[in-house]
Structures are given as C-alpha cells and as structure tokens.
Amino acid sequence: MNARDRLATLGAGLVLGATLVVPPGCGREDAGALGAQAPSDALRTDRRIVELLAGCERSAFYDRDLSDIGTLLLEKIERARPEALKRAKEELGILGTSAFPTLSNAFHAYYSDPIRSGFLENVVDALTFNASDQAHELLLEALRHAQESVRSKALDGLRRHARPGDFDVLAERLALETPEVRRQIVGALFTADRPRAEARLLDFIERGVERDLWPSAGPLLVQTESPATAARCNQLFGDLDPLLAAHLAGSAARFGHSAGLEHLRAELRAPEASRRLLAASILGATRLVDELGQALREDDSSTVRTVAAGAFRAVDLTE
C-alpha cells in the first residue's frame, strides 16, 4: 500500500469516527473550511460528509430556561425550517391557555410591522390549533388586519373555532372582502351558526344574489341536519346549474324527497364523467349507497367506480 492509499484509508476512518460523534443538524457556515481538510477529493466534495463535519452555530452548552416552553416554541416560529415550524404551531395549539401571554405578545408585536408579516401569519396559524378563548379573540382581531393573507389565515382558524356570536361579524365582512376571502367566510359562517348560515345562503340562491358564494355553500348544504333546509333545497335545485343543483338535490334526497333522488339518478347517467363523479360523491356523502351499484359495476370511468367502491366501504366500516 503506497502513501496515497494509506492516507485515503486513514481519511475514511476519520470520517467514520466523525459520523459517530458529530450531531447532525448543525449550521453550514464552516463546511468549506473543514471540507478542505478531507484527505481526498472524493471526501472533500461529498455533500453528506461536508454537512456532518460542518461547524455548529452554537458551540457552547444549551443555556436556556426550559420551563417557558411557549417562548421556545415561539422562537421556532421565527427561525425553524418547515417541519419544525409546523410542529411548533401544533404544540402552541396543544398548550391552550398556557401559550398565553407569550402568543398574544408576539401577535401584537408583529401586527403593525409589515416587514414581519410572515411571522404574524405563523402566529395566526398557531392560533388555528388553539381552542382557547384568548386564541379566539386574536383570530377575530386578525380578521381586521390590512393584509389579505393574514385575514385569510384568520378565517382558516375561524372555520374551526367560530362561535354563534361571530356570525354577524363574519356576515358583515362579506361586503368588504375580496372574492377569495368571501368564499372562505362561507365556511366560517356555517361553523358559527349552521341554521342561520343555511337560511342566509338559501335566501341568496332564491333571490339570485351573491352568486360567487353559491359554489362554496353547495357542499355544506348537503351536510344539513335540518328537514326544513332539505325542503327548501328540494324547491330550488331545479332551476340551478348542474353543479349546484346536484348538491341541493343531495340535501333533498337525504331527507326522502323523491325529486332530489331522481335528479341524482339522472346525473349518474350523464354523458360527462365529471357530472357522474359528482353525483356518486354526493350519494356516498348522504349514505344513499344502494344507488351506486350500477355505477360500481358498469361506469366507464375508473374514477367514478373508485368513488362508488369507497362509498360502500365507508358504510361497511361504520355499521
């Protein structure tokens, strides 16, 4: 073995030792300097080796107060990479009231600073996972923020946590918001007070107004538990476009209105696969799976057959 071979072998041993003692996840600022000490070109240019040998951002021991977990998680919201950031948001939600006042202090610190709006959005995301009263109040405050992306994040949270008292606040925002945010508001209205939301959206449909909100309301109306709502859907679906008509017909069929069921049966025979797929999805959602036998066996679209099979399987699993 010549000197060059012995050097390469020694270098490989050093790298193996480094992998055992050097923790991963350190910063990369010293990677070039350490990589230059590698015993061969192959080792010096191997990205995996360079990262293992890179210098850590903090070489001292971890001197932090671990009793204040909220502050530590908030630090991740500002600096962490995507996976750690996602986990920090979830954990701040799990903390509930224990995440305050740390979370509210950060919210108000970022609220008026456009340069840190990204951090504010991360905080609002964390509020979405938090069911406490404090989080709910901040979500309503974020709904008034000047930046649309922040308001959109707030509506993601209110889609989960809106309360009956929020209904009028949300309804008032319909006249102020952009089309995309208006569509988000529909879901939050249904969370806040489903009976009022069903009546409000059916009023819009009956009067032919606020048409941009109809597509967002359709899938939610299928889930109604109200016989009165189903009866109104049965009266209205005949004059609507195929997409919305199918949803309202599904609501009617769920409560035994024969006209709604016949409409969905006809949609299962439509020439367009997209219409057959929607009808199959709605029949599955309303648990009228007996209507899907022929689609499961004979439909030309594998997607329609898959949806029909999934509907049967879902019923079997819940019975």
Ranges of each domain in the chain: 3-53
Among the residues of the chain, which ranges form H helices?
3-21, 31-35, 41-44, 47-53, 69-79, 82-94, 102-111, 117-128, 133-142, 148-161, 167-173, 179-192, 194-207, 214-222, 227-236, 242-254, 258-267, 273-285, 293-298, 302-318
**Residues of the chain falling short of pLDDT 50:** 3-4, 6-8, 10, 12, 14-36, 38, 61-62, 66-67
pLDDT for the residue numbered 205 = 97
pLDDT for the residue numbered 251 = 98
Cis peptide before 215 (omega within 30 of 0): no
| Residue 221: count of CB within 10 angstroms of its CB | 27
pLDDT for the residue numbered 57 = 54
Rounded to whole angstroms, how far apart are CA atoms 220 and 206? 17
Rounded to whole angstroms, how far apart are CA atoms 55 and 314? 53
Rounded to whole angstroms, how far apart are CA atoms 265 and 225? 22
